[in-house]
Structure 1
Amino acid sequence: MAELTIGRPDLARRATAEAIAACALVFCVGGAAAAQASHHAILGLPAQAAVSGLAIMALVYATGHLSGAHINPAVTIAFTVTRHFPRREAVAYIGAQLLGAAAGGGVLLAAWPDAPGNLGANVAAVGTPTALLYEAVLTALLMFIIIAVATDTRAVGAGAAIAIGGTVTLDILVGGGVSGASMNPARSFGPALASGTWTHFWIYLVGPTIGATVGALAYQFIRAPQTPPGAAPA
């Protein structure tokens, strides 16, 4: 989920990296959910939060230098809105993320054809307005952290993956029992497609997209211009 840098691979390779990362994320999150539903292999919300946070942290470390590790259509849209990502490439990234998520969902369905539950698909435990608000706010917080560590050289870039993975874990602990804390349309799409669970799916498209855009714009607003070395602060 980092901003792209000079010398990056061509668009096809970067989009492929996004697809692989999205596939891996859906498999990890959905696989954990399926194992829990079938065999009680892991227990409770803290375990779900840890799986998602660790998966994101690992994938950011693995693909951040290649594609920027968006792994999330809402993040790509937010980077595009704030002019940190070219519009002409956003469609390719979003398509790759959704394709990768669908592939991850397909692997889950092949592995767990008779598993109870919904293979990790997000289903809100509260009313639609509350779930939508939670998705928007949680994603805004996540995107605020992402854009800080990805685009501001004053942030600790080496720890970006830890900061982002930690925020994902925190968000799920806060909102997992409320909205499911998807924060990612692709992460919701893969399991929904595999399990046929489309209950209020629009929440997981609209909420994260609005939230990510708000979070990115908020950081853009509060960040101060950097002072060149040796220059006096304004």
Structure 2
Amino acid sequence: MKKVAIIGANGKSGSALVAEALKQGYDVTAIVRNKEYKNDDVKVVHKDIFELTKADLAGFDAVISAFGAFTDATFPLYKKVAVHLANLLSGSSTRLIIVGGAGTLLVDDKGTMAMDTPGFPPEYMGVARAAAESFFELKTKSDVLWTYVSPAGDYDANGARTGKYVLGNDHVILNSQNESYISYADLAIAIIDELKNGAFVQKRFTAVGQRA
């Protein structure tokens, strides 16, 4: 049975990933800072990301980071987390999957990123630019089996698990309703499926789904 560690397992994205990894039969370890977090279905490690060591992550087939920061003061942590985890897994056979943002997805063939377009919501600019830093950081790492995941623009915590999704690479993709949309549950399926498919090692992918 493959072993996967999920960092930030108590968040919305993290808990969807834990549920999906269990559903697909993985041996799951939840890494959380919150000492109150309890989950009898998984092993739980209560530790801050920056206290994690190489030894803590040894033996996992994959480490998935669902870390999120939502204030100006904590935005710089996106890059710091990517650097720290990449350093811990450098030269190892453990995959590093970071769930990031949609802002770096391309909207044309000239390299224009979504976050650089006039229509990009200004209220999301801070988090988009911060999450982008983790992507730019990973792209410099040739000694880490990294994968960066860009959710669709409308990433719906309350959306249904339809069990279906369509994958893309570096460009914004749309569903049959012409929307950049996916539920947390369906993106979790795409991410856990990637553990076995291995189609995006040292690459980024995105996915869209349908509204139920």
After TM superposition, is the score higher than 0.5?
no
In terms of Rg, which structure is larger?
Answer: 1
Normalized per residue, which structure has more helix? Answer: 1
TM-score by length of 2: 0.34
Greater strand percent: which structure?
A: 2
> TM-score, length-normalised on structure 1?
0.32
